[in-house]
């Protein structure tokens, strides 16, 4: 049996906290930002047509596209976390079975999702708030990025997570970055050169699908290359894992996927409520969703870099080192979020104008961004605690925290404020809900115990 690379063990067990976190987090932050940039690129290039109905259509489909992230988290976080736990516990044989099985399960789930979206496309788009002016463009985009593109999207994300969790953070980040840069290059080619006028949204969707396919092929090559010195491999059959391993994939993966799913459901509610004020607010909200992801994706990237380090040291019962990674990552993520909130407050119109020159869309977008950017630091704190719970195998806590956030605070407050204050209430929901959620999150998490000892998380 091949042994795990000793340099990876050194990183997890002995490298100084700041350097180890930087080594793991820098590639994940860069890959998160590149992924964001290529997602923003679709909106930016569609905005060059200066048609807010196209922008609104792509915004509506984004909520469906993000469901592929739900599938990716189910198997990428579930299988990836279990793999690194098994490595930390010294059970490399079972880790080598779990990793390829994760890829098979993710592929099956992605294909089923594609089929369901293809069959129920129009009712789904109408449910999300598509109007007669936007549904044609929405059909173009969803056909490319979900019906055809779900499988490569899910596989590229899961394989990236697997590589990151066993210490190959640079390779994971490079693959996502490569896909993102390719998407940026393909967008104008398909939108303005290959396809005729009126099919720009379809062109953006095809570019996204092809870039994810390219990333998937890259990750297949990398996993084959590192298979001799890691737990990863491309499945040639159906690996037989222990029943408790299969249970653990889902016990951690389901809460991780639910976290993204609930976030997506909240965005669906926001889009649906915004559509009651017309297509222009939907377009503006879609742009803001993309812009606000800059500090959020940076924070998520830091959390993703933190998670394998926390998971390994949790399994190895090195709780002091585990908590040091937790606190260092939190300080870095919140600091970046605070700086971003200040910049968005000062330059909101300029950020919106980067995507579209329609005056009404810019007006709505500025108003929305100035309100939502204030929620960024508390949103990052919420995400950070969920990632910590996932990394330490606290399945019940990582399941309930997103439920509390979305269904106790966010969605009820959204409906309440929208009812009494209209669009203004909808705009200020995020700050109100997440401020209350962070207080509740730390109260709940303060009861976390390891080996009978309560952890000091603040």
Q: For residues 154-180, give the mean pLDDT.
A: 86
More confident residue, 91 or 344: 344
CA distances to 31, 220, 283 from 336, rounded to whole Å, are: 17, 33, 27
- Determine how many CB atoms are found less than 10 A away from the CB of residue 370: 17
pLDDT over threshold 70, residue 7:
no
The listed range with the strongest mean pLDDT (30-44, 147-161, 294-308) is 147-161
Q: What is the DSSP string of 333-355?
A: HHHHHHHHHHHHHHHHHHHHHTT
- Determine how many CB atoms are found less than 10 A away from the CB of residue 347: 13
pLDDT over threshold 50, residue 1:
no
Q: How far is Cα 306 from Cα 326, in angstroms, rounded to an integer?
A: 7
Q: What pLDDT score does 62 carry?
A: 77
Q: How far is Cα 181 from Cα 161, in angstroms, rounded to an integer?
A: 19
pLDDT over threshold 90, residue 335:
yes
**SS3 call for 81:** helix
pLDDT of 99-118, one tens digit each?
Answer: 889 999 999 999 999 999 99
Asked whether the beta carbons of 93 and 177 are under 8 A apart, the reply is no
The pLDDT > 70 percentage for the chain reads: 95
Lowest mean pLDDT among 1-5, 203-207, 288-292, 367-371: 1-5
pLDDT over threshold 70, residue 347:
yes
Q: For residues 215-237, give the mean pLDDT.
A: 88
pLDDT over threshold 50, residue 221:
yes
Q: For residues 309-315, give the mean pLDDT.
A: 87
Cα angle vertex 39, ends 291, 358, to 5°? 55
pLDDT over threshold 60, residue 142:
yes
Q: For residues 206-227, give the mean pLDDT.
A: 93
Q: For residues 44-51, give the mean pLDDT.
A: 82
Q: For residues 27-46, give the mean pLDDT.
A: 74
pLDDT of 180-196, one tens digit each?
Answer: 889 889 999 999 999 99
pLDDT over threshold 60, residue 2:
no
Mean pLDDT of the chain: 86
Q: For residues 55-67, give the mean pLDDT.
A: 81
């Amino acid at each position: 049996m091949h042994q795990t690379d000793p340099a990876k063990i050194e990183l997890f067990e002995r490298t100084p906290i700041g350097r180890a976190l930087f080594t793991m987090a820098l590639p994940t932050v860069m890959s998160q930002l590149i992924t964001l940039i290529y997602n923003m690129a679709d909106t930016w290039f569609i905005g060059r047509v200066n048609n807010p109905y196209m922008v609104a259509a792509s915004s509506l489909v984004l909520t469906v596209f993000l469901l592929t992230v739900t599938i990716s988290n189910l198997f990428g976080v579930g299988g990836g976390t279990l793999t690194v736990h098994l490595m930390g516990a010294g059970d490399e044989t079972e880790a080598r079975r779990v990793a390829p099985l994760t890829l098979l399960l993710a592929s099956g789930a992605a294909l089923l999702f594609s089929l369901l979206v293809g069959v129920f496309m129009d009712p789904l788009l109408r449910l999300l708030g598509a109007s007669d002016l936007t549904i044609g463009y929405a059909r173009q985009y969803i056909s490319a990025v979900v019906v055809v593109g779900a499988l490569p999207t899910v596989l590229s994300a899961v394989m990236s997570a697997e590589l990151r969790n066993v210490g190959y953070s640079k390779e994971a980040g490079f693959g996502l970055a490569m896909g993102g840069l390719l998407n940026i290059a393909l967008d104008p080619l398909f939108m303005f050169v290959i396809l005729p006028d009126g099919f720009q949204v379809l062109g953006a969707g095809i570019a996204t699908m092809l870039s994810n396919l390219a990333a998937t092929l890259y990750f297949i090559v990398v996993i084959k290359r590192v298979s001799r010195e890691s737990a990863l491999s491309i499945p040639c059959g159906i690996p037989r894992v222990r029943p408790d391993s299969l249970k653990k994939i889902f016990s951690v993966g389901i809460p991780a996927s639910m976290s993204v799913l609930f976030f997506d459901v909240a965005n669906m509610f926001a889009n649906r409520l915004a559509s009651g004020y017309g297509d222009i607010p939907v377009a503006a909200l879609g742009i803001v969703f993309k812009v606000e992801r800059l500090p959020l994706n940076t924070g998520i990237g830091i959390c993703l870099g933190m998670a394998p380090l926390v998971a390994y040291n949790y399994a190895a019962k090195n709780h002091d080192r585990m908590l040091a990674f937790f606190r260092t990552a939190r300080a870095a993520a919140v600091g970046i979020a605070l700086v971003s909130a200040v910049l968005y407050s000062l330059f909101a119109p300029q950020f919106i104008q980067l995507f579209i020159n329609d005056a009404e869309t810019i007006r709505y977008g500025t108003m929305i961004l100035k309100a939502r950017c204030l929620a960024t630091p508390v949103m990052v704190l919420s995400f950070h605690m969920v990632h910590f719970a996932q990394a330490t195998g606290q399945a019940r806590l990582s399941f309930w925290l997103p439920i509390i956030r979305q269904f106790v605070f966010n969605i009820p407050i959204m409906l309440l404020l929208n009812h009494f204050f209209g669009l203004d209430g909808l705009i200020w929901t995020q700050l109100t809900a997440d401020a209350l959620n962070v207080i509740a999150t730390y109260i709940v998490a303060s009861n976390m115990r390891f080996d009978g000892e309560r952890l000091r998380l603040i």
